[in-house]
Chain A
Amino acid sequence: MGFAGIAVGAAMAGLRPICEFMTFNFSMQAIDQVINSAAKTYYMSGGLQNVPIVFRGPNGASAGVAAQHSQCFAAWYGHCPGLKVVSPWNAEDAKGLIKSAIRDNNPVVMLENELMYGVAFEFPQEAQSKDFLIPIGKAKIERQGTHITVVAHSRPVGHCVEAAAVLAKEGIECEVINMRTIRPMDIETIEASVMKTNHLVTVEGGWPQFGVGAEICARIMEGPAFNFLDAPAVRVTGTDVPMPYAKILEDNCVPQVKDIIFAIKKTLNI
Chain B
Amino acid sequence: MRKMFVAAMCRVLPRNALKKKPASRMLGATGNFSNQATFDIKKCELHRLEKGPPVKAVLTREEGLQYYRTMQVIRRMELKADQLYKQKFIRGFCHLCDGQEACCVGLEAGIQPTDHVITSYRAHGLCYTRGLSVRSILTELTGRRGGCAKGKGGSMHMYGKYFYGGNGIVGSQGPMGAGIALACKYKGNKEISLTLYGDGAANQGQIAEAFNMASLWKLPCVFICENNLYGMGTATTRAAASTEYYKRGHVIPGLRVDGMDVLCVREATKFAADHCRSGKGPIVMELQTYRYHGHSMSDPGVSYRSREEIQSVRNKRDPIMQLSDRIVTGQLASVEELKEIDGDVRKEIEDAAQFAITDLEPPLEEIAHHLYKDNPPFEVRGANQWIKYKSIS
Contact = CB atoms under 8 A, between A and B. Distances in A.
Nearest to B145: A46
B152 A37 contact: no
Contacts of B294: none
Interface string B95-120: 00000000000000000000010100
Given A43-B152, A50-B373, A37 B182 contact: no
Interface string B204-217: 01101110110000
B378 A6 contact: no
A157 interface: no
Given A6-B213, A46-B152, 16 more contacts: A2-B206, A6-B182, A7-B179, A8-B179, A9-B176, A12-B179, A12-B180, A13-B183, A13-B193, A33-B175, A41-B159, A41-B165, A45-B157, A46-B151, A47-B369, A47-B373
Nearest to A222: B385
A184 B378 CA distance: 10
A267 to B, nearest CB: 24
7 contacts: A5-B209, A6-B176, A9-B118, A9-B175, A43-B371, A48-B149, A105-B374
Contact of B370 (A12, A17, A47, A52): A47
B252 to A, nearest CB: 15
Interface of A: 1-15, 17, 32-33, 36-37, 41-50, 52, 81-82, 84, 104-106, 184, 222
Nearest to B147: A46
B159 to A, nearest CB: 4
Given A12-B180, A14-B183, A1 B370 contact: no
Nearest to A33: B172
A46 B372 contact: no
Interface residues of B, number: 51
Contact of A37 (B176, B183, B205, B374): B176
Contacts of B205: 1-2
B121 to A, nearest CB: 12
Nearest to A43: B370
Interface string B180-221: 111110110000010000000000011011101100000000
B150 A42 contact: no
B179 A13 contact: yes
Contacts of B372: 42, 82, 84, 105-106
Contacts of A5: 172, 174-176, 178-179, 206, 209-210
Contact of A46 (B150, B172, B209, B375): B150
Given A12-B179, A105-B374, A1 B206 contact: yes
